[in-house]
Amino acid sequence: MEKVVLIKSLYRNSEEHLSKKVKISGWIRTLRASNAFGFIEINDGSFFKNVQVVFDNKLENFKEISKLPINSSLKVIGTLVATPDSKQQFEIQATEVIVEGMSQSDYPLQKKRHSFEYLRTIAHLRPRTNAFSAVFRVRSVAAYAIHKFFQEKGFVYTHTPILTGSDCEGAGEMFKVTTLDLDKTPKTEQGAIDYSKDFFGKESNLTVSGQLNAECFALAFRNVYTFGPTFRAENSNTARHAAEFWMVEPEIAFADLEDNMELSEEMLKYVISYVMAECPEEMDFFNQFVDKGILDRLNHVVSSDFAKVTYTEAVEILKATDKKFDYKVEWGIDLQTEHERYLTEEHFKKPLFVTDYPKDIKAFYMRVNEDGKTVAAMDLLVPGIGEIIGGSQREERLDVLTKRLADLNLNEEDYWWYLELRKYGETKHAGFGLGFERLIMYITGMSNIRDVIPFPRTTGQSDF
């Protein structure tokens, strides 16, 4: 018996298969039949589009086939025939249809439009719909594009730890990890919980960022990146926050903020271009049904030279406009989404780096500028979404970093290894973080983070 051909191959190499016998396997997306013949749209998971199968009552199991519930799985043998006059470029005229697995008539995904909210309740089935088939294939291809981009530049992919001792990061919104029996936690003589009895012998949390660990590797391998899950126990029920999400964090040595901006611009353009080239059917779907105009917007990003402005200049621009903001602009504030979107969408009309933010609103590890008031930070803002990347040059001067820790009441001993990176052969270095889900929302036009994660975890929600 001939080998099964993937539907992707029928579309991408149709010349090779036309007028020949082919064998496919897949699931019924739609089926309609009269007494004499019928049509089945089959999807085999390899491709966004279905292929149409025509069958007639010469098949001995014609009656059985005609009544199959949606999403039953089939093997079909037949001839691939060009159909230049119809909507499809070709169809399969079946000579044999074998039922592999019957579906049941209460299958929840009958041919009608379902709301994304409803589909979240059947996350185990929703990748079978057009929208989620497109989203999750794009997610996969974008993830690969990120690896390809960095690997071809010789960056070392570094698996930074997920489980971390609680010493080094602000513990406010972290998940605790434990193997203690919560019904009878061991206690110290002072009555506190005795974490020396816990799995790691101390309090442990889920990571919020791999950056500090990645810096260790950048100072050995020069150019590294992480790509893995990170966690926030933020009790916020918004369309943009999830408790578990994936981050990409490159870290580059012998590099300053300019190099960092150049790298992030190049990466973003590469990933978007790669997805548009590899997933044209999916991108057309988003452009038609999810977010009209998204293709124009992405093409614009890819062909723009990103603008650059300092925070101080950006504040002047925002103060000078007649536009009313909910949140008043003064030097020293953290820019809000309304400000970011005005800058990138209305003022600059293209992607925009805002640099050199006030020291007091940024993290301890960002390099202090000559003015003593600002740090070498950068945020990349894009039309339609606002901030998509945040990064900085890192403080490499041991004395300045030590003073920053003290000013922020952070305990120097907790950072002994991070400080040692500055003692032993420090160089300028920089890095940034890209929230992978935000990128996927940006590329697909999907507006809720729950709809770009296979099985999303948010406040009160960890089903499947």
Rule CB under 8 A: is residue 50 a binding residue for a second copy?
Answer: no
Q: Is 319 helix (H, G, I), strand (E, B) or coil?
A: helix
For residues 165 and 358, which CB has a smaller minimum distance to a second copy in the complex?
165
Provide, rounded to whole angstroms, the least separation between the CB of residue 90 and a second copy: 20
Distance CA 194, CA 352 (A): 49
Q: Position 115: which residue type? A: S
- Interface with a second copy (CB under 8 A), residue from 39, 116, 200, 364: 200
Rule CB under 8 A: is residue 160 a binding residue for a second copy?
Answer: yes
Provide, rounded to whole angstroms, the least separation between the CB of residue 280 and a second copy: 15
Other beta carbons within 10 angstroms of residue 91's beta carbon come to 20
- Interface with a second copy (CB under 8 A), residue from 37, 93, 169, 244: 244
Terminal alpha carbon distance of the chain: 38
For residues 127 and 384, which CB has a smaller minimum distance to a second copy in the complex?
127
Q: Nearest 5 degrees, angle CA 8-CA 12-CA 16? A: 105
By the 8 A CB rule, do 452 and 441 touch? Answer: yes
Question: Treating both helix axes as pointing N-terminal to C-terminal, what angle do 130-152 and 436-444 enclose, rounded to 10 degrees?
Answer: 120
Point out which span in 82-90, 228-236, 298-306, 358-366 binds a second copy (CB under 8 A). 228-236
Among the listed residues 55, 56, 59, 60, the one whose alpha carbon sits nearest the alpha carbon of residue 41: 55
Among the listed residues 313, 229, 218, 310, the one whose alpha carbon sits nearest the alpha carbon of residue 263: 218
Rule CB under 8 A: is residue 10 a binding residue for a second copy?
Answer: no
Distance CA 80, CA 135 (A): 29
Provide, rounded to whole angstroms, the least separation between the CB of residue 18 and a second copy: 21
Distance CA 291, CA 228 (A): 28
The secondary element (H helix, E strand) that includes residue 31 is strand 21-33
- Interface with a second copy (CB under 8 A), residue from 11, 157, 270, 364: 157
Rule CB under 8 A: is residue 202 a binding residue for a second copy?
Answer: yes
Rule CB under 8 A: is residue 62 a binding residue for a second copy?
Answer: no
Query: For tokens 């193997």, what's the residue?
Result: 179
**Cβ neighbours for 98, distance < 8 A, ≥ 6 positions apart:** 74, 75, 76
Rule CB under 8 A: is residue 178 a binding residue for a second copy?
Answer: yes
Distance CA 89, CA 13 (A): 12
Point out which span in 42-50, 260-268, 291-299, 314-322 binds a second copy (CB under 8 A). 42-50
Rule CB under 8 A: is residue 213 a binding residue for a second copy?
Answer: yes
Question: Which residues inside 269-328 make contact with a second copy, applying CB under 8 A?
Answer: none
For residues 37 and 107, which CB has a smaller minimum distance to a second copy in the complex?
107
Measured in degrees and rounded to the nearest 5, phi and psi for residue 101 equal -145, 125
For residues 407 and 420, which CB has a smaller minimum distance to a second copy in the complex?
420
Q: Is 405 helix (H, G, I), strand (E, B) or coil?
A: helix
For residues 339 and 422, which CB has a smaller minimum distance to a second copy in the complex?
422
Measured in degrees and rounded to the nearest 5, phi and psi for residue 33 equal -150, 145
- Interface with a second copy (CB under 8 A), residue from 206, 272, 315, 446: 206
Question: Which residues inside 70-89 make contact with a second copy, applying CB under 8 A?
Answer: 71-73, 75
For residues 68 and 380, which CB has a smaller minimum distance to a second copy in the complex?
68
Question: Which residues inside 89-148 make contact with a second copy, applying CB under 8 A?
Answer: 100-104, 107, 122-125, 127-128, 132-133, 136-137, 139-141, 143-144, 147
Provide, rounded to whole angstroms, the least separation between the CB of residue 62 and a second copy: 20
For residues 19 and 105, which CB has a smaller minimum distance to a second copy in the complex?
105
Binding mask 374-413 toward a second copy (x if CB under 8 A, else -) reads: ----------------------x-----------------
Question: Which residues inside 421-460 make contact with a second copy, applying CB under 8 A?
Answer: 421, 423-428, 453-455, 457, 459-460
For residues 265 and 282, which CB has a smaller minimum distance to a second copy in the complex?
282
Strand 223-231 to 156-157 pairing? parallel
Distance CA 123, CA 101 (A): 21
Distance CA 397, CA 39 (A): 70
